[in-house]
Amino acid sequence: MKKVSLLITMACLLFFATACSQSSNSSGSAEKKDTYEVAVIVKATDSDFWQTVLEGAEKAAEEKGKKVNVTTYGPPSEADIDEQIAILENVISQNPDGIVIASTSSDASVPGIERATDKGIPVVLVDNRVKTDKFVSFLATDNVKGGALGADQFVEELKAQGKELKGEVAIISAMAGVQVLIDRDKGFIDRLKEIAPDIIPLEIRYVDNDITKALGAAEDLLTSKPELLGFFADNNHTGIGVARAITERGLSEKVPVIAYDGDEEEINALKSGAIDALIVQDPFGMGYEGVNTVLTSLEGGSSEKEIDTGATIVTQDNFEEDDIQKLLFPDKR
């Protein structure tokens, strides 16, 4: 009887130990490894912004030596939402140790992200909020705040040109239904209502994240609205398109343009005066901290659920400052 009792006790202990181990793994506390495989999925590969996110991720891996191996993915364009979801599904099937993702859609990626989390794969979100709580951390710009900074700067540019704070402003948006863009436009519009209520935003023009379409929309507005006060462009492609229209019409430093991000062409437009100010995020930091946050989770540590990675106004006046140069040119970090 004693032997039977002992066997039963040992079996129970083994059962509970196994259950605890499985519970630990499902919560994202993975067994420590010599090398962790981390997948980094961005919104698009056709943009300097997303390439900079990938550079940050790769820099984090480089600093860890052989401890982290980063593999990067992304569809050709931010308009390719279905392709990004297919990439996510394929990545999950490969069972990486962790995932960093900048999801274009706040909805379409939810099933995949939740499935990865349920499998014990820690997921870190960057740039865009997704409608689930099943993630380790969310690193992003406060885009409502960023849009408000843009409105403040737009008013300052009008004042500097001696223009009355009254009239119409155009908003060129990359895509409809994308939360980060909705937040940027809302931040801009709401702040204008507070500080310059006589400036009326026109109906938002959406351009499918296409530079040529952004150029065409700006040209159309400049033709149909000759008294237009200026433009707010809510990402790099829209900023480039509007800047080209301003340059072609010889309106540099005459029609204020505020644009998000800091691609090379946008920076050149800032220097020429075709863009008056850029709202610059920290894409390098998103990628860098995204990978480090996954690693922290894999090794049993904890991170803040939400982290504001910041937004900074860049003009010709502060362009040469050291901190600004490091934001615009991550290789100077």
Residue 162 shares a structural domain with residue 129: no
The percentage of residues in the chain with a pLDDT greater than 70, rounded to a whole number, is 91
Residues 92 and 115 in one domain: yes
pLDDT at 316 over 60: yes
Predicted local distance difference test score (pLDDT) of residue 13: 39
Structure tokens given for 41 = 């999925």
Residue 162 inside a domain? The answer is yes
- Give the residue ranges of DSSP H helices in the chain: 2-26, 48-63, 81-93, 110-118, 143-160, 179-195, 211-224, 236-248, 264-272, 283-298, 322-328
Note whether 38 and 93 are same-domain residues: yes
| Residue 11 clears pLDDT 70, i.e. is over it | no
Look at residue 331 in the predicted model and tell me its pLDDT.
86
What local confidence, expressed as pLDDT, does residue 28 receive? Answer: 43
Three-state DSSP at 154 gives: helix
Residue 230 within any structural domain of the chain: yes
The CATH number of the domain holding residue 122 is 3.40.50.2300
Residue 170: is its pLDDT beyond 80? yes
Q: Is the pLDDT reported for residue 6 higher than 70?
A: no
pLDDT tops 90 at residue 14: no
If asked whether residues 164 and 241 sit together in one domain, one would say yes
Q: What is the pTM of this model?
A: 0.83
Q: Is residue 20 part of a domain?
A: no
Query: In terms of domains, do 266 and 164 share one?
Result: yes
> Same domain, yes or no, for 274 and 288?
no
Q: Is 100 helix (H, G, I), strand (E, B) or coil?
A: strand
Q: Any idea what the Cα angle at residue 67 is, between residues 62 and 72, rounded to 5°?
A: 55
pLDDT at 89: 98
24 in a structural domain? no
Residue 153 lies in domain: 143-280
pLDDT at 1 over 60: no
pLDDT at position 10 over 80: no
pLDDT tens by residue, 268-305:
999 999 999 999 999 999 999 999 999 999 999 999 99
d(CA 82, CA 251): 39
CA 254 to chain centre: 30
Query: Which of 12-21, 47-56, 70-79, 193-202 has the weakest average pLDDT?
Result: 12-21
Q: Is residue 9 part of a domain?
A: no
- Mean pLDDT over 165-184 rounds to 96
Q: According to the model, what pLDDT value does residue 31 have?
A: 62
Q: What is the mean pLDDT of the chain?
A: 91
What percent of the chain lies above the pLDDT cut of 90?
Answer: 87
Q: Is the pLDDT of residue 167 over 50?
A: yes
Shared domain for 255 and 299, answered yes or no, is no
pLDDT in tens, 33-67: 889 999 999 999 998 999 999 999 999 999 998 89
Instruction: Please give the tally of structural domains in the chain.
Output: 2
165-188: b or e for each residue (b if 16 or more CB lie within 10 Å)?
Answer: eebebbbbbbbeebbbbbbbbebb
Query: Alpha carbon of 216 to those of 17, 168, 221, 239, 280: distances in Å?
Result: 65, 18, 9, 12, 24
In a domain, 3, yes or no: no
- What size, in residues, is the chain? 333
Domain co-membership, 193 together with 72: no
For 103-113, the pLDDT digits (tens) are 999 999 999 99
Residue 10 lies in a domain: no
Give the per-residue pLDDT at 261.
96
Residues 210-268 pLDDT 10s: 999 999 999 999 999 999 999 999 999 999 999 999 999 999 989 999 999 999 999 99
